[in-house]
Amino acid sequence: MDERPIDFITLPEAQRSDKAFVMGEIENDPSLLQYVGAGLQADREVVLLAVSINGLALEYAADALKGDREVVLKAVRNDGEALMYASDALRDDNEVVENALRQYPNALQYASERCRGDEAVARVAFLKRDNRPRSALEHCAKALRAQRAFVKEALLADGSNFEFASEALRADRELALMAVQRDDDQLRYASAALRDDEKLVLMAVRSDGSMLKHASARLRGHEPIVRAAVSTEATAFLYATDECRGNADILRLALQSPWWVLGSVLGHASDSLRGSKDLVLAAVKRNGKELKFASDALRDDPEVVRAAVLENGEALRFAGDSVRASRHKVLAAIQSEQPDTSTLQLASEALRRDKDIVLQAVKVDGKSLAFASEDLRRDPEVVLEAVSQNGLALQHAGEAVRHNRDIALAAINQNADALEYAPEAIRDDREVLGAAVRQTGKALAYASERLRADLSIVTEACRQDGHAFEYASQSLRANRELCLLAMASGGPYKSSAAVLQYASEALRADREVVMEAIRLRTFPLAYSSGELRADREVALAAVRSHKRELKYVASALRDDPEFLGEFQ
């Protein structure tokens, strides 16, 4: 309830103190109780309405009402957490506390120390009503957390209560088995002796293999338990001892998981397994980047490297120098390239000068042009191929080629934002600009000063995207028809007040323009002239369009009860 309802808090004190009006508003938003006028937070009828809708509104009630039994009962029955705002006396009232616990078991933390130690009261927190957690043992008195029968009852309700049992009870095997059976994560809170108990740990890892991390060092090296854990959850491999991670069968189990679940497997394997060709092949077929962890010999092995780059072209970066200089291997990597990765960057310098290789690379990812040799970045054929795949590759082309009109057009037709990287002569080319703004009006941002003042070009840009009005020349931002077109092209809620924000001072004082902006629900009052913000008709239309506009209305109108009554 922290978000401030701007339209309500800007109302005059008199209106926020009007009981009938306030009760109508509170029915829609009980949190408004925090902003009501003097006296209403102590009004029993108003507060009862608020807490019946949202119990947490009790926070804003007067202290006297926080000690009113009927008010507090109404609040905690709606939301048990409201108990935190009750008076000390009512937080020590069994009936009030029990009602809170039925709605929100963890409300026990707000009860008095006596209630937290009362077995009958505390037990209410563990009654099953729905699927909500009932892990309230944390808030029970220390004596109850050491009482075996009580803790057992709490565990039957919610296994996560085990964490808060006394140290002695967390060494109780029967209770630990009960807890882990309901919540495998509770293994972490068992005593050291129980975390070395095979039956208990096996139960936990069969439910969630990652619980292996809480087992004793001995069991993290116990092959049957590690197998069970990895079979259930591949990440358990990370918690196994070095000896188990050196077991080929366990490694194969881990490799059966998708790479995005466990990430690298070879990175955690023993050195001997990193030199096993069949295991490394299985690893790189799952995730080509596993080549990084293969032995030096296997990173130069043609079969292993080919499997890796076919899965992920970026794996080429981990291959030996001889492989990265191999035309055949680099081509294979390019053909299997992932989005936004450039194999060409990983190739040898000689291959980055190879036109056929570079042409293949830019066909897959135009931005690979950045890694081609300087000569090839000046080659029109190569650059044209690159910008046709990704217009933004124009930024990597040689200076002379960027002046090539055909290449610039190809780049802009693929992505109008490529205009940013075109030289001034191209950005002053009417045909090029026309193609760009038809694709996205905001391309006007990169136009020359001359074309930003070209009515035809700017009109096309604003028709495509009203926000392009921002980039028009100063003279065109005073053009009434253009401003209206820009506002209309964005549609409701899209162009917002951005168009009027950049309009000339005269247009921001133009009553017809501002009223049209209001009709389009573009929230223009913040950028309108002071005279129009004080214009009763304009202000009323704006506020009726959206109440948030009230904050921009002239203060004289905001203090006028008659004006405020007109839009309520």
SS (H, E, C) 457-508: HHHHHHHHCHHHHHHCCCCHHHCHHHHHHHHHHHCCCCCCCHHHHHCCHHHH
SS3 81: helix
Q: pLDDT tens digit string along 215-246?
A: 999 999 999 999 999 999 999 999 999 999 99
Position 337 scores a pLDDT of 58
User: How much is the pTM?
Assistant: 0.59
Average pLDDT across the chain, whole number: 90
Which of 37-51, 341-355, 431-445, 466-480 has the weakest average pLDDT? 341-355
pLDDT band at 490 (very low <50, low <70, confident <90, very high): low
Q: What per-residue confidence (pLDDT) applies to 132?
A: 62
Mean pLDDT, range 444-457, rounded to an integer: 95
Cα–Cα distances in angstroms (integers) from residue 168 to residues 117, 148, 385, 523, in the given order: 19, 10, 73, 65
**How far lies 356's CA from each of 233, 327, 337, 341, in Å?**
46, 10, 16, 19
Q: Does residue 210 surpass a pLDDT of 90?
A: yes
Judge whether residue 311 has pLDDT over 90.
no
Vertex 532: Cα angle to 529 and 535 (nearest 5): 160
Q: Is 287 exposed, middle or buried (0-12, 13-18, 19+ CB in 10 A)?
A: buried
Let me know: does 304 contact 294? Beta carbons within 8 Å. Answer: yes
pLDDT tens digits for 325-350? 777 777 777 776 554 456 787 778 88
| Burial degree of 92 (CB within 10 A; 0-12, 13-18, 19+) | middle
pLDDT tens digits along 367-412? 999 999 999 999 999 999 999 999 999 999 999 999 999 999 999 9
CA distance 349 to 24: 75
Residue boundaries of the structural domains of the chain: 264-348, 463-568
User: If pLDDT is split at 50, 70 and 90, which confidence band does 564 have?
Assistant: confident
